[in-house]
Each structure stands twice: as C-alpha cells, then as structure tokens.
Amino acid sequence: MTAAVFAGGGSDNEVAAASAAPCKALAKIHGRALIDYVLEALRNARTVGEIVVIEAPSRSLSLSGALPPDVPVVAARGDELIDTFVTAVEAYPDEERVLIVTADLPLLTSEAVDGFVRSCQDAPCGLSYSIVQAEAFDEAFPGRGKTVARLREGRFTGGNLAIAERQFVLAQAPAIARTLDRRKSPVGMARTFGLPFVARLLMGKLSISDLERRGGEMLGTTLAAVPVRWPEIGFDVDHAEDLELAERFLRERPTVS
C-alpha cells in the first residue's frame, strides 16, 4: 500500500533546533537524518508500494535538497495535523487506504512495518492505530519514558503507525481535528469522550474493545487499536535528549533493516 510520511514542522521545533536542522525530519542521528531511517524501512517493506512525504507549508524539507530525488514531497495545505492527514489521502486519490508513518522513527524496521500492515489486513477499518505493550517498550528502550494507558489487557503506549481510509478522513475531518486538538489535554479528552469514560480509563477498567467502540462512535467510523510486538514502532524522537538515546540504541543494535 501507499505510505505517507508525516514530516511537518520547521526549525523552531525542539529536536530540529538541537540538531541545527531546518526541520525535525532532518535532525541527525549517527550522521543520518531521521527521515532517512524511516524511508529505508519503508523501501525494504514488502507491504509498501509508493512512498510520499507530507511536509509543512513552509516547504523547509524540500527546499533543503536533502531528500532523494525519487521521493515525492507534497506540502500540507495548513499547519494543523488534520491538514497533513487530508493532504496524505488526497495525494493518491485512487488509494482507498494509506499507511501513515511519522518521520521521527530512527529505530523503525521493515519487519515492524510489514507486521503492522499484515495485522490490519483481515479487518480493515476507518482507522487502525498501533499500540505497544508498555513492558516490552521499557525492556527494549530503558530510560525512554512514554505515556501509558492501563487497560484490562495490560499497559499500552501509543505507536506511530496507522492505516487510514481515504473516505473516513475526508468525511470526518472536523471530528478528527477536534480529537487531535484535545489529545494531550485531560480536560479536552474528558469533553470529547465524556468524563465517566475518561474516569474508567484512568482506573484501568476499560478494554481495548471499549476504546475501539467509543472512539468509533466519536469519529463516525470503525476503529481498531492494534497491539504490535515491535516496540520500535513506539520510539519517536519527541525531545532533544531522545536523539542521544536513539543513537545509543542504534549502536547497540547489530543490524537495521
């Protein structure tokens, strides 16, 4: 399937500034840009065909000249995350589903990409979102904290791969935008999902199917939270210190595919 790499932001991003890069996707680890690791993993993945990079409206990524010439780059129609989603599904109008990958995954492997895509093939949904078992993540990457949700099936943290249906994104863009805007605010999430639901989530009384059902109701689609066994899907570079952590883990890993 077609993969859309989300590579927005400019030089004011914390990670970009720490690496003196024009945007986060070009921050260097081990002498290579973050996005290079992602592109390599996608190119080696058997489940991925076309690859498109969605950059910020400022075009700081394409203007840098750092990307390979065979990788198409499209500027998002606006600075909000929902603008990147809409631009991604509109880039290939004949594709019903698009694999969404963030550009800040230096530890991503083709095995992880293929594993996630194949896990979603039997039950296609409007949105399939990867989740990683917190214990597996902590064991693989000690010292890299992540936000964790306690569910009946265990403790999970969010991944950075998703599969979105084109019609869902276009039809439900306002609802998606509201959810994205409130995703990091407890008050905002309570307003979106309802305080009783959020309270049950905080107490660990919800299951994965509860999240799928309520999220689907709010977004007007079928939603799947897909547990994956590849913790590298959860390792994104959010802060400057994550650059050093990622470099250490890359040095310790014998091969990168």
Backbone CA torsion sign across 70, 124, 100, 144: negative
| Euclidean distance between CA atoms 105 and 233, whole angstroms | 7
Residue 163 DSSP symbol:
E
For 142-166, the pLDDT digits (tens) are: 888 888 889 999 999 999 999 999 9
> In order of start, what are the domains of the chain with their CATH numbers?
3-131+158-170+222-252 (3.90.550.10)
What is the reported pLDDT for 202? 84
Rg (the chain; Cα; Å): 18
**Confidence band, pLDDT 50/70/90 cuts, at residue 257:** very low
**Mean pLDDT computed over every residue of the chain:** 90
For 80-130, the pLDDT digits (tens) are: 999 999 999 999 999 999 999 999 999 999 999 999 999 998 777 999 999
**Confidence band, pLDDT 50/70/90 cuts, at residue 195:** confident
| Euclidean distance between CA atoms 139 and 132, whole angstroms | 12
Query: Going by C-beta distance under 8 Å and a sequence separation of 6 or more, which residues neighbour residue 195?
Result: none
